[in-house]
C-alpha cells in the first residue's frame, strides 16, 4: 500500500476531511447515551414532561448534525478513493505500454486485466472504507470506554478486560486471512484466463464439438476458486459469532455488577442504560471494524498485486539520443551472429543468425512451422533484444535508437490481423495521423483493399467493430497491410500476412509492394515458395538456424532444406531418383 501512497497525495485535503467529519459524527454518537440517561434519571424520575420533550429535540438535532457529518465524510472519501483509482489505473496502463514484449509474455494478459480492473476496484473500496471507518471505530470504542469510566469506574473495568480480548480475536483472524486473499486473487486470474480463452475461441470449441470439455475445465477452475473463497469466508465468518459471544458475556457481567451498584446507591437506572448503550456501541463498532479489516486485508493484497505491476522494470533500455555508429547508407538490416531465447524457454529460437539486407531489396523468409521466422523479423523493430550478436537497422544498432524512432521507420504486419474499434479511417491513421484521405486511398489500393473499402457503407467512415469482427480474415489482412503502408516505412515486414488472400490477390499485392515508391526494403515471411520465389534474397530457416541464403536459383543448387520445401510443394518437379537396386545392378554389369 505504501508504494501506492503517492497516488493519494493529490487528495490529501479529502483524506484529512473525510475522517475528521467521521470523528465529528462520533462525538454526537457518544453523547446520545448520556442524553438518554438524563431523560430517564431526570425527566422520567421527576415526571418532568417539558424536560423530556426538550431532550427529545436535542436528540433529533444531534442526529441531524451527525447525518450531515456522515454525508460530508462519504463525499470526501468517495472523491479521494475514486480519484486515487483513476490515477492508479492510468499509471498502470501507461506502465504496461512501456514494458517490453519479454515482460508482457512473462506476466500474461489475464493477470494484467484482473489487476487493472478488479484489484484496483478492491483498493478503491478499501480506501473509501478506511478513510471513513479506520479512525471512527477505534475512536468510538475508546470514547465509549472513557464515557463508561465517567459514569462508574467499577463497571467500566469490565470494558477494560473485554475490549483487548476482542482486539486479539479480530487481529488473529485478520493475520490468518491475509495470505488467503492473495490466493483467491490468483485463482481469479486463472478463471479470467479460462473465460477469455473460451470466449475468444468459442468458434473453434464449437467446430471441434468440445463444449463439454470446455465447460468441465471451466467448472474445475471455478470450483477451485469457490472452494478457496468458501474457506476464506468461513474463517472471516468466525469473527461475528466469536465477538458476539464475548460481548454478550461482558454485557451479562456488566448488568450483574451495575445492578449491585444501583442497589447500594452508587448508580442510577438511567446510567445503567447508558453503560449498556456504550457496550452496544462497542460491539457494533467492533463488528464494523472486523469487516473493515477484512476489506482492508483484501485491498492490501490487491494493492500489492497492483504495485507488483508498477514495480516491473522494462528489460529494454532506450537511448535518449541516437547512437553515433557509422551509418551505412546501403544497408537496411544486418544480423551479426544473432542468438535469441524467449524468457523462460529452454531452447534458443534463433541460433547464430548472420545475414545482410540491402536497401530496396525484397527478402523472403521461408521455413517449417516453429522454425523461427516470426522471431527473426520481430528482432528488427526491436520487439525483443537478442542475448548474443547484434541487429543493425540502417547501419545503426537497434539498441541505439531512441524509443519510438525505430517503429516510425518500420511497418510491421503481423500474422494475426488486429484492428480496433473505430472507423476504417481511424484504424489506418495509426500508421500516420497526419495522412490525408488521398494517402489512405493510395495505401488501400496497394494493399488490394480498394474494392473492400468501396463496398462498405460510408467507405472510410465504415465502423470497424472490436477486433474487426465485422470483417473477414482476408479483408482484415488487407486493411492491416494498408495501415502499415500509410506510415510510408523504409522497412516493411509482412509476417505471413498474405495467407488469407486468394492466389490472384496475393500475386497482385506482392507486385504492388515490389513497385512501392522509394527505396523500401521488404521482408516477406511465407510458408509458400510462390510467395518468396522472386525475392532478391531468401533466408531458409530450420529449427532456429539459418539453413541457407541466396536467390531461388542459388538455393535450388546449394540448400537441401530449400529443395525439400520446394519439392514438397511442387512434387511433380522432383527429379526421378534411381532406385538403389537399379544402381547396384548397373554397377555389377559394369
Ligand atoms: N512468446 C514466446 N515465448 C516462448 N517461446 C516462443 C514464443 N514465441 C515463439 N516461441 C517459440 O519459438 C520458436 C519459433 O517460433 P516462431 O513463431 O518464430 O516460428 P515460425 O517459424 O514463425 O512459425 P510459424 O510458421 O508456425 O508461424 C517456436 O519453437 C516457438 O515455440
* Residue with grid cell 467499577, as numbered in its chain: 154
Residue 462 confidence (pLDDT): 92
- Quote the CA–CA distance of 275 and 374 in Å, as a whole number: 76
Residue 326 confidence (pLDDT): 56
The answer to whether 361 and 537 are in contact (CB under 8 A) is yes
Enumerate residues lining ligand 1, CB below 6 A: 105, 342, 345, 349, 367, 369-375, 496
Residue 386 confidence (pLDDT): 93
> How much is the pTM?
0.71
The CA 357 to ligand 1 mean position distance, Å, reads 22
The verdict on 298 and 339 lying in the same domain is: no
Residue 322 confidence (pLDDT): 60
The verdict on 227 and 362 lying in the same domain is: no
The verdict on 56 and 104 lying in the same domain is: yes
> In 10 A of CB 50, how many CB atoms?
8
- Closest Cα partner for 110 from 187, 180, 223? 187
Share of the chain above pLDDT 90, in %: 34
* Residue with grid cell 516505412, as numbered in its chain: 489
The CA 374 to ligand 1 mean position distance, Å, reads 7
- Quote the CA–CA distance of 73 and 21 in Å, as a whole number: 5
Output 345 or 53, whichever has higher pLDDT. Answer: 53
The pLDDT of residue 52 is above 80: yes
Q: How many residues does the chain have?
A: 590
Q: Convert the pLDDT of each residue in 76-99 to its tens digit.
A: 999 999 999 999 999 999 999 888
The verdict on 376 and 514 lying in the same domain is: yes
Torsion sign, CA atoms 97, 98, 100, 106: negative
Nearest atom within ligand 1 for CA of residue 415? 27
| H or E element that contains 36 | helix 12-38
Nearest atom within ligand 1 for CA of residue 378? 18
For residue 363, the enclosing domain spans 331-417+490-573
The CA 134 to ligand 1 mean position distance, Å, reads 52
CATH for 411: 3.40.50.300
The answer to whether 524 and 556 are in contact (CB under 8 A) is no
Share of the chain above pLDDT 70, in %: 95
The pLDDT of residue 546 is above 90: yes
Q: Is 207 domain-assigned?
A: yes
Which of residues 311, 343, 378 is at a domain's end? 311
Average pLDDT value for residue range 359-379: 92
Mutate to test the pocket of ligand 1, among 108, 370, 413, 524 (most ligand atoms within 8 A of CB): 370
The verdict on 280 and 137 lying in the same domain is: yes
Count of domains forming the chain: 2
- Quote the CA–CA distance of 485 and 231 in Å, as a whole number: 56
Residue 135 confidence (pLDDT): 86
CATH for 270: 1.20.1560.10
Q: How far is CA 583 from CA 217, 574, 588, in A?
A: 58, 19, 9
Q: Convert the pLDDT of each residue in 33-42 to its tens digit.
A: 999 999 998 8
Nearest atom within ligand 1 for CA of residue 495? 22
Which of residues 311, 341, 370 is at a domain's end? 311
The verdict on 104 and 207 lying in the same domain is: yes
Q: Which phi and psi (to 5°) does residue 333 adopt?
A: -140, 140
The CA 375 to ligand 1 mean position distance, Å, reads 6
Output 394 or 288, whichever has higher pLDDT. Answer: 394
Nearest atom within ligand 1 for CA of residue 372? 18
Residue 581 confidence (pLDDT): 46
Mutate to test the pocket of ligand 1, among 375, 494, 499, 540 (most ligand atoms within 8 A of CB): 375
> Which residues are within 8 A (CB) of 443 and not within 5 positions of it... i.e. 6 or more apart?
428, 431, 435, 482, 483, 485, 486
The CA 499 to ligand 1 mean position distance, Å, reads 17
* Residue with grid cell 537399379, as numbered in its chain: 582
**Which range, 54-68, 309-323, 457-471, 518-532, has the best average confidence (pLDDT)?**
54-68
The CA 350 to ligand 1 mean position distance, Å, reads 10
The CA 333 to ligand 1 mean position distance, Å, reads 21
The verdict on 384 and 530 lying in the same domain is: yes
Amino acid at each position: 500500500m505504501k508504494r501506492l501512497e503517492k497516488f493519494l497525495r493529490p487528495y490529501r485535503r479529502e483524506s484529512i476531511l473525510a475522517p475528521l467529519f467521521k470523528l465529528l459524527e462520533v462525538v454526537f454518537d457518544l453523547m446520545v447515551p448520556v442524553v438518554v440517561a438524563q431523560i430517564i434519571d431526570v425527566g422520567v424520575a421527576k415526571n418532568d414532561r417539558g424536560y423530556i420533550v426538550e431532550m427529545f429535540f436535542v436528540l433529533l438535532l444531534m442526529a441531524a448534525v451527525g447525518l450531515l457529518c456522515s454525508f460530508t465524510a462519504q463525499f470526501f472519501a468517495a472523491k479521494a478513493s475514486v480519484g486515487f483509482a483513476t490515477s492508479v489505473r492510468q499509471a498502470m496502463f501507461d506502465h504496461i505500454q512501456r514494458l517490453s514484449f519479454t515482460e508482457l509474455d512473462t506476466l500474461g494478459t489475464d493477470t494484467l486485466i484482473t489487476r487493472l480492473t478488479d484489484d484496483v476496484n478492491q483498493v478503491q473500496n478499501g480506501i473509501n472504507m478506511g478513510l471513513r471507518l479506520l479512525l471512527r471505530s477505534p475512536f468510538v470504542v475508546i470514547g465509549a470506554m472513557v464515557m463508561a469510566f465517567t459514569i462508574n469506574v467499577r463497571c467500566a473495568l469490565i470494558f477494560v478486560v473485554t475490549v483487548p480480548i476482542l482486539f486479539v480475536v479480530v487481529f488473529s483472524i485478520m493475520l490468518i486471512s491475509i495470505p488467503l486473499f492473495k490466493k483467491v486473487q490468483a485463482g481469479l486470474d486463472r478463471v479470467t484466463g479460462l473465460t477469455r480463452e473460451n470466449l475468444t475461441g468459442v468458434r473453434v470449441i464449437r467446430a471441434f464439438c468440445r463444449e463439454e470439455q470446455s465447460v468441465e475445465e471451466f467448472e474445475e477452475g471455478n470450483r477451485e476458486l469457490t472452494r478457496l473463497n468458501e474457506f476464506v469466508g468461513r474463517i472471516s465468518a468466525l469473527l461475528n459469532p466469536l465477538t458476539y459471544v464475548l460481548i454478550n458475556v461482558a454485557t451479562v457481567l456488566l448488568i450483574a455488577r451495575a445492578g449491585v451498584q444501583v442497589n447500594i446507591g452508587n448508580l442510577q437506572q438511567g446510567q445503567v442504560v447508558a453503560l449498556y448503550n456504550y457496550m452496544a456501541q462497542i460491539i457494533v463498532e467492533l463488528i464494523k471494524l472486523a469487516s473493515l479489516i477484512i476489506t482492508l486485508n483484501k485491498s492490501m493484497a490487491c494493492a500489492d498485486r497492483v504495485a507488483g505491476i508498477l514495480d516491473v522494470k522494462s528489460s529494454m533500455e532506450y537511448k535518449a539520443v541516437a547512437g553515433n555508429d557509422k551509418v551505412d547508407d546501403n544497408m537496411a538490416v544486418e544480423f551479426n551472429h544473432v542468438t535469441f531465447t524467449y524468457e523462460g524457454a529452454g531452447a534458443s529460437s534463433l541460433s547464430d543468425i548472420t545475414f545482410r539486407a540491402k536497401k530496396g531489396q525484397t527478402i523472403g523468409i521461408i521455413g517449417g512451422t516453429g522454425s523461427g521466422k516470426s522471431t527473426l523479423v520481430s528482432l528488427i523493430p526491436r520487439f525483443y533484444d537478442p542475448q548474443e550478436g547484434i541487429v543493425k537497422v540502417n547501419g545503426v544498432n537497434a539498441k541505439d535508437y531512441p524509443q519510438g524512432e525505430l517503429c516510425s521507420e518500420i511497418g510491421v504486419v503481423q500474422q494475426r490481423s488486429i484492428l480496433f474499434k473505430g472507423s476504417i479511417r481511424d484504424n489506418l491513421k495509426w500508421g500516420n495521423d497526419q495522412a490525408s484521405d488521398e494517402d489512405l486511398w493510395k495505401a488501400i489500393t496497394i494493399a488490394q483493399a480498394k474494392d473492400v473499402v468501396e463496398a462498405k457503407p460510408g467507405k472510410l467512415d465504415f465502423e470497424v467493430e472490436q477486433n474487426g469482427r465485422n470483417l473477414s480474415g482476408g479483408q482484415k489482412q488487407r486493411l492491416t497491410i494498408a495501415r502499415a503502408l500509410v506510415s510510408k516505412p523504409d522497412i516493411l515486414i509482412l509476417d505471413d500476412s498474405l495467407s488469407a488472400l486468394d492466389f490472384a490477390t496475393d500475386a497482385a499485392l506482392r507486385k504492388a509492394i515490389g513497385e512501392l515508391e522509394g527505396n523500401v526494403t521488404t521482408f516477406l515471411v511465407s510458408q509458400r515458395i510462390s510467395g518468396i520465389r522472386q525475392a532478391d534474397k531468401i533466408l531458409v530457416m530450420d529449427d532456429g538456424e539459418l539453413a541457407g541464403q541466396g536467390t531461388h536459383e542459388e538455393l535450388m543448387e546449394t540448400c537441401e532444406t530449400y529443395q525439400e520445401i520446394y519439392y514438397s510443394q511442387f512434387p511433380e518437379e522432383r527429379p526421378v531418383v534411381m532406385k538403389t537396386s537399379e544402381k547396384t545392378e548397373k554397377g555389377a554389369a559394369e
